[in-house]
């Protein structure tokens, strides 16, 4: 997503010329993207997921291997389907704990389509999380992540002011110079995690090198660092039978550039069913329902927009599927982390 700080006169003229057209809704959204890629001052923000712990490698690289056995995670998010230029993100990850490495390894890829595919991002990441037992009750993990990503623009989907005829709409060819080069970058991130059998707290810093994402060699547009602090607990409903059910309060704070998100959430697990509710401060209410077994998890969540964007966005839909593959449960000097599944 993009936050535009200022408008250049050229693009104000595009908006003015398009006001009388029926396609103004679509034009206005495309102009916002033009501002982002053709010189207006902007800040980029990473795609966000509402099922934070169903996409653990995206939240914090230190969570790699936190499930001990091999884990496959698949995620899909459709944000604001009610507007013409929606945001759709796909994510896939694999991680497991490796005794020989004294930690977890992970591999993740995601594809993001912003503005109905006008701007596309493809990313692949590898990560390693070293685990150290302080004692039998407390363990810490330090995670490191290397990412290669590519960002591109579908030039044919853009429209410009010089294409507009006052009577017939968009009938002319544009004189704007097409953007032909993609942005290809290396990126690095790191994270930390401390946990006991019931409590956990973590911190992650993404985009440590703040790569330049400008499509023009003479301009500089740095991707701001993203900082994430998260913590919570898994508290059994019956201390004599911890597997019977649990309640899990959580808090997640994220900051990237001028963007701040405070998320407060609560999960209730009973049998194979999980229910959850989150509040993203001044932005959205998130409702979740999940089904989980020993080897399979499925979750669906819906974000109800409560910000000034209003109900016309139709909220956001998110689906997660994860599979925990069987493995030998070796006896270790430390306990593995228990954290929410969604």
List, for residues 157-211, the tens digit of each pLDDT value. Answer: 777 777 777 777 777 777 676 676 788 999 999 999 999 988 999 999 999 999 9
Contact partners, residue 88, CB within 8 Å, separation at least 6: 76, 77, 78, 79, 112, 113
Residue whose structure tokens are 């942005």: 183
* Span 308-330, average pLDDT: 84
- pLDDT interval class at 225 (50, 70, 90): very high
What backbone torsions phi and psi does residue 244 show, to the nearest 5 degrees? -70, -30
pLDDT at 15: 30
Task: Write down the architecture of domain 50-324 according to CATH.
Answer: Beta Barrel (2.40)
- pLDDT interval class at 241 (50, 70, 90): confident
Per-residue pLDDT reduced to its tens digit, 248-265 = 999 999 999 888 999 999
Using CB atoms within 10 A of its CB, is residue 181 exposed (0-12), middle (13-18) or buried (19+)? exposed
**Nearest CA among 188, 191, 212 for reference residue 202:** 191
Enumerate the domain spans of the chain: 50-324
Using the 8-state DSSP alphabet, how is residue 73 labeled?
E
**Given a cut of 60, is residue 39 above it in pLDDT?**
no
Task: Enter the pTM of the model.
Answer: 0.83
Residue 210 CB neighbour total at 10 angstroms: 11
Q: Tell me which of 247 and 136 has the higher pLDDT.
A: 247
> Alpha-carbon distance 44 to 87, whole Å?
14
Per-residue pLDDT reduced to its tens digit, 101-118 = 999 999 999 999 987 668
């Amino acid at each position: 997503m993009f936050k535009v700080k200022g408008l250049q006169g050229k693009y104000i003229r595009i908006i003015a010329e398009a006001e009388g057209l029926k396609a103004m809704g679509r034009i206005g959204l495309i102009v916002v993207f033009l501002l982002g890629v053709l010189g207006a001052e902007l800040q980029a923000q990473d795609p966000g997921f509402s099922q934070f712990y169903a996409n653990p490698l995206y939240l914090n690289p230190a969570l790699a291997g936190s499930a001990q056995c091999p884990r496959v995670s698949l995620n899909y998010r459709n944000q604001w389907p009610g507007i013409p230029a929606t945001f759709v993100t796909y994510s896939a990850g694999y991680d497991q704990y490796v005794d020989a490495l004294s930690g977890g390894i992970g591999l993740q890829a995601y594809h993001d389509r912003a503005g109905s595919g006008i701007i596309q991002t493809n990313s692949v990441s590898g990560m390693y999380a070293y685990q150290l037992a302080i004692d039998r009750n407390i363990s810490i993990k330090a995670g490191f992540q290397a990412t290669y990503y590519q960002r591109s623009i579908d030039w044919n989907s853009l429209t410009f002011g010089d294409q507009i005829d006052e009577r017939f709409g968009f009938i002319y060819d544009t004189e704007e110079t097409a953007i032909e080069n993609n942005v290809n970058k290396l990126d690095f991130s790191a994270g930390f995690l401390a946990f006991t059998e019931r409590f956990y707290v973590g911190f992650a810093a993404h985009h440590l090198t703040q790569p330049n994402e400008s499509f023009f060699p003479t301009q500089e547009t740095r991707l701001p660092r993203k900082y994430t602090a998260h913590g919570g607990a898994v508290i059994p409903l019956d201390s004599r039978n911890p597997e019977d059910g649990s309640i899990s309060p959580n808090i997640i704070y994220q900051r990237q550039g001028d963007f701040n998100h405070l998320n407060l959430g609560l999960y209730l697990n009973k049998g194979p069913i999980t229910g959850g509710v989150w509040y993203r401060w001044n932005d959205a209410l998130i409702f979740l329902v999940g089904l989980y077994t020993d080897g399979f998890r499925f979750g669906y969540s819906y974000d109800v927009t409560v910000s000034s964007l209003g109900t016309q966005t139709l909220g956001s839909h998110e689906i997660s599927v994860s599979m925990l593959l069987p493995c030998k449960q070796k006896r270790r000097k430390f306990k593995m982390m228990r954290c929410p599944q969604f």
